[in-house]
Copies of this chain bind each other. A is one copy, B any other.
Amino acid sequence: MDHKKFMDIALAEAKTGLAEGGLPIGAILVENGKVIGRGHNKRVQDGNPVAHGEMDCLRNAGRRPNYRNTILYTTLSPCMMCSGTIVQFKIPKVVIGEAENFEGNIEFLKSRDVDITLLNDADCTVMMKEFIENNPELWNEDIAE
Protein backbone atom coordinates (compact mmCIF):
# COMPACT_ATOMS: atom_id res chain seq x y z
CA MET A 1 0.00 0.00 0.00
CA ASP A 2 1.58 3.25 -1.13
CA HIS A 3 0.46 5.53 1.67
CA LYS A 4 2.40 8.55 0.38
CA LYS A 5 0.65 8.36 -3.00
CA PHE A 6 -2.78 8.46 -1.34
CA MET A 7 -1.76 11.08 1.22
CA ASP A 8 -0.71 13.34 -1.64
CA ILE A 9 -4.29 13.17 -2.97
CA ALA A 10 -5.62 14.17 0.47
CA LEU A 11 -3.00 16.95 0.52
CA ALA A 12 -4.20 18.17 -2.88
CA GLU A 13 -7.72 18.35 -1.39
CA ALA A 14 -6.35 20.41 1.52
CA LYS A 15 -4.65 22.78 -0.92
CA THR A 16 -7.88 23.17 -2.88
CA GLY A 17 -9.53 24.21 0.39
CA LEU A 18 -6.75 26.71 1.06
CA ALA A 19 -7.15 28.22 -2.42
CA GLU A 20 -10.88 28.61 -1.71
CA GLY A 21 -10.08 30.62 1.43
CA GLY A 22 -10.79 27.70 3.77
CA LEU A 23 -8.92 25.56 6.28
CA PRO A 24 -6.35 23.32 4.54
CA ILE A 25 -7.41 19.89 5.75
CA GLY A 26 -8.18 17.15 3.26
CA ALA A 27 -9.24 13.53 3.34
CA ILE A 28 -9.88 10.64 0.98
CA LEU A 29 -11.60 7.27 1.40
CA VAL A 30 -9.94 4.32 -0.33
CA GLU A 31 -11.41 0.88 -0.92
CA ASN A 32 -9.34 -1.93 -2.41
CA GLY A 33 -6.80 0.56 -3.75
CA LYS A 34 -9.40 2.85 -5.35
CA VAL A 35 -10.32 6.36 -4.21
CA ILE A 36 -14.09 6.24 -3.58
CA GLY A 37 -14.50 9.62 -1.88
CA ARG A 38 -12.56 12.82 -1.35
CA GLY A 39 -13.20 16.07 0.45
CA HIS A 40 -11.82 18.98 2.38
CA ASN A 41 -12.82 21.26 5.23
CA LYS A 42 -15.65 23.60 4.12
CA ARG A 43 -16.35 25.58 7.30
CA VAL A 44 -15.63 28.87 5.53
CA GLN A 45 -16.81 27.96 2.03
CA ASP A 46 -20.19 26.51 3.11
CA GLY A 47 -20.53 28.19 6.50
CA ASN A 48 -20.75 24.64 7.81
CA PRO A 49 -19.08 23.87 11.15
CA VAL A 50 -19.47 20.09 10.80
CA ALA A 51 -17.79 19.97 7.36
CA HIS A 52 -14.33 18.92 8.52
CA GLY A 53 -12.20 17.27 5.83
CA GLU A 54 -13.06 13.73 6.93
CA MET A 55 -16.79 14.50 7.16
CA ASP A 56 -16.86 16.15 3.74
CA CYS A 57 -15.06 13.12 2.31
CA LEU A 58 -17.58 10.69 3.85
CA ARG A 59 -20.49 12.83 2.64
CA ASN A 60 -19.07 12.79 -0.88
CA ALA A 61 -18.50 9.02 -0.74
CA GLY A 62 -22.28 8.72 -0.30
CA ARG A 63 -24.38 5.97 1.24
CA ARG A 64 -22.76 2.57 1.76
CA PRO A 65 -23.87 -0.65 3.44
CA ASN A 66 -20.56 -0.73 5.36
CA TYR A 67 -16.96 0.56 5.46
CA ARG A 68 -15.35 -2.83 6.10
CA ASN A 69 -12.67 -2.63 3.39
CA THR A 70 -11.98 1.08 3.51
CA ILE A 71 -9.03 3.19 4.61
CA LEU A 72 -9.48 6.85 5.50
CA TYR A 73 -6.55 9.14 4.73
CA THR A 74 -6.53 12.53 6.42
CA THR A 75 -3.86 15.23 6.36
CA LEU A 76 -4.36 16.10 10.06
CA SER A 77 -5.01 13.95 13.14
CA PRO A 78 -8.81 13.60 13.57
CA CYS A 79 -10.73 15.69 16.09
CA MET A 80 -13.28 14.04 18.39
CA MET A 81 -16.15 14.58 15.90
CA CYS A 82 -14.28 12.84 13.12
CA SER A 83 -12.91 10.17 15.48
CA GLY A 84 -16.42 9.40 16.73
CA THR A 85 -17.54 9.10 13.11
CA ILE A 86 -14.70 6.70 12.28
CA VAL A 87 -15.74 4.50 15.23
CA GLN A 88 -19.47 4.69 14.47
CA PHE A 89 -18.94 3.83 10.81
CA LYS A 90 -16.50 1.07 11.76
CA ILE A 91 -13.78 2.33 9.44
CA PRO A 92 -11.02 -0.15 10.27
CA LYS A 93 -7.93 1.83 9.26
CA VAL A 94 -6.92 5.49 9.30
CA VAL A 95 -3.72 6.92 7.84
CA ILE A 96 -2.85 10.32 9.33
CA GLY A 97 -0.59 12.88 7.66
CA GLU A 98 0.55 14.58 10.83
CA ALA A 99 -0.31 15.03 14.50
CA GLU A 100 2.21 17.75 15.34
CA ASN A 101 -0.08 20.75 14.85
CA PHE A 102 -3.09 18.97 16.39
CA GLU A 103 -2.72 15.88 18.53
CA GLY A 104 -6.24 14.66 17.76
CA ASN A 105 -7.53 11.43 19.24
CA ILE A 106 -5.13 8.72 18.19
CA GLU A 107 -5.26 6.93 21.56
CA PHE A 108 -9.07 6.99 21.58
CA LEU A 109 -9.14 5.51 18.07
CA LYS A 110 -6.66 2.79 19.03
CA SER A 111 -8.72 1.99 22.14
CA ARG A 112 -11.65 1.33 19.79
CA ASP A 113 -9.56 -1.02 17.64
CA VAL A 114 -8.95 1.37 14.76
CA ASP A 115 -5.62 0.64 13.08
CA ILE A 116 -3.62 3.88 12.89
CA THR A 117 -0.66 4.78 10.72
CA LEU A 118 0.92 8.16 11.42
CA LEU A 119 3.08 9.29 8.50
CA ASN A 120 4.64 12.42 10.04
CA ASP A 121 4.44 13.86 6.53
CA ALA A 122 6.50 17.06 6.27
CA ASP A 123 4.31 18.54 3.51
CA CYS A 124 1.18 18.18 5.68
CA THR A 125 2.96 19.54 8.74
CA VAL A 126 4.45 22.63 7.11
CA MET A 127 1.17 23.53 5.36
CA MET A 128 -0.86 23.34 8.57
CA LYS A 129 1.75 25.09 10.71
CA GLU A 130 1.81 28.07 8.35
CA PHE A 131 -1.97 28.18 8.21
CA ILE A 132 -2.39 28.17 12.00
CA GLU A 133 0.27 30.86 12.43
CA ASN A 134 -1.50 33.09 9.90
CA ASN A 135 -5.10 32.27 10.93
CA PRO A 136 -5.20 31.50 14.66
CA GLU A 137 -8.82 32.64 15.13
CA LEU A 138 -10.19 30.53 12.30
CA TRP A 139 -8.22 27.53 13.51
CA ASN A 140 -9.49 27.95 17.07
CA GLU A 141 -13.06 28.26 15.79
CA ASP A 142 -12.67 25.06 13.79
CA ILE A 143 -11.64 23.01 16.82
CA ALA A 144 -13.92 24.98 19.18
CA GLU A 145 -11.05 26.19 21.36
Contact = CB atoms under 8 A, between A and B. Distances in A.
Interface in A73-116: 79-85, 87-90
A63 interface: yes
Contacts of A67: 144
Interface in A53-75: 55, 58-59, 61-67
Most chain B CB within a 10 A radius of its CB, from A58, A63, A84? A84
A59 B49 contact: yes
Interface in A25-74: 43, 47-51, 55, 58-59, 61-67
Contact of A81 (B47, B51, B89): B89
A2 interface: no
A143 interface: yes
Contacts of A58: 49-50
A85 B89 contact: no
A74 to B, nearest CB: 14
Given A49-B59, A79-B84, A89-B144, 4 more contacts: A49-B89, A80-B84, A84-B87, A84-B88
